[in-house]
Amino acid sequence: MGQKLPGLSPELFAPNIISNGLANRDVAISPDGNEMYFTMHTNRFEYAIIVQSKLVNGIWTKPEIVPFATDSRYKYLEPAFSYDGQKLFFVSDQPKDGSDKPVAEDIWVVDRKNNGWGEPYNIGTPVNYEGGDFFPSLTKDGTLYFTRNELEGRISNIYRSRLVDGKYSSPEKLPKQINCGTNRFNAYVSPDESFVVVPAVGVDEGPRRVQYYIVFRNEDDTWQEPLALNSEINTPKGTGWSFYISPDKKYIFYMASKPLAKANHPESLSVDFLHQFSEMPQNGNSDIYWVDAKIIEDLRPQAKK
């Protein structure tokens, strides 16, 4: 999108194109690199949509809402590709029984059909249940990682469901290394299942805010202790709970809410500036940032100690 590629310091992604003043998060890129999807929503999720941009003749198209996320009664968010790119998973509070009232969020799927997508369908039990299920993330073999809102209290936990003979097995709650801290959200799993990145709160002492942690997986399917990502991602005045790595493994995309840089503040306030501010990134809504994925490899030696 005409940008300089990021190094080891995060950069705002596609300012005024993707990061546009609305709340933006949840990146998903097709395996061939020619399609990009993300969530855009208004304050307090009055509306939440999934938006796509495609690479056509070397130019990225203007971001537009996907056709299956246009019903204003419901929310649509958290897209995630299957490893082969033939399915797109997402989360919605639309009902599956033909009624019209929003329900607790479930995981849904659309299948690739020609140059677009078929009709969405709910993946059903045993993955979805009445408490709300969020943030699908998939491995090469189809294993599904997701977040479940527990019925008791306001706590979320990370679960895993294996794909066996084309059907999802009964979800298992993952161990304390992944379900770390006092609460956790929206874990991203690497396609080879070698690590998970968990946005969590209460893992370390200090400010009670969500930070990103990486948890490496051992060959015997046990997990190492969580390691905080660096201070340029887990900043003192930013918070976020949506993480993703591009299919080529080169770039991390993550959500963060950061204040406007001091250099961009006006000398004096005006009504015009406030209107302009509402359409600027870094206005208090969540933005998408990106950074070189080498920071993950830099953490592996620490994990082996």
The string of pLDDT tens digits covering residues 33-88 is 999 999 999 988 999 999 999 999 999 999 999 999 999 999 999 999 999 999 99
N- to C-terminal Cα separation, the chain: 40
pLDDT of residue 12: 94
* Total-model pTM: 0.95
The string of pLDDT tens digits covering residues 98-150 is 788 999 999 999 999 988 999 999 999 999 998 899 999 999 999 999 999 99
- Average pLDDT over every residue of 186-194: 97
Residue with structure tokens 């998970």? 196
Upstream peptide bond of 126 is cis (omega within 30 degrees of 0): yes
pLDDT of residue 98: 77
pLDDT of residue 154: 83
Query: 147 and 106 in contact (C-beta within 8 Å)?
Result: no
pLDDT higher for 195 or 151?
195
Query: 191 and 83 in contact (C-beta within 8 Å)?
Result: yes
- Domains of the chain with CATH codes: 11-304 (2.120.10.30)
Non-local (6+) Cβ contacts of 124 within 8 A are: 96
In the chain, count H helices and then E strands: 2, 25
DSSP 8-state assignment for residue 220:
T
Residue length of the chain = 305
pLDDT of residue 304: 64
Torsion (CA) 169, 198, 138, 4 in degrees, nearest 10: 180
pLDDT of residue 72: 96
Angle subtended at Cα 155 by Cα 149 and Cα 159, rounded to the nearest 5 degrees? 50
Residue with structure tokens 């979320």? 156
- Tokens representing 273 are 């500036």
The string of pLDDT tens digits covering residues 199-254 is 999 998 776 789 999 999 999 999 999 999 999 999 877 788 999 999 999 999 99
Residue 3 has pLDDT above 60, yes or no: yes
The string of pLDDT tens digits covering residues 138-162 is 999 999 999 999 988 789 999 999 9
pLDDT of residue 237: 75
- Average pLDDT over every residue of 179-208: 93
Bridge partners (DSSP) listed for residue 144: 138, 161
pLDDT higher for 130 or 178?
178
Please state, in angstroms and rounded to a whole number, the distance separating the CA atoms of residues 22 and 43: 8
Please state, in angstroms and rounded to a whole number, the distance separating the CA atoms of residues 144 and 277: 39
Instruction: Please report which confidence band the pLDDT of residue 93 belongs to, taking 50, 70 and 90 as the band edges.
Output: very high
Query: 135 and 148 in contact (C-beta within 8 Å)?
Result: no
- Average pLDDT over every residue of 264-288: 92
pLDDT of residue 50: 98
Torsion (CA) 227, 231, 236, 242 in degrees, nearest 10: -60
Please state, in angstroms and rounded to a whole number, the distance separating the CA atoms of residues 292 and 273: 33
Instruction: Please report which confidence band the pLDDT of residue 301 belongs to, taking 50, 70 and 90 as the band edges.
Output: low
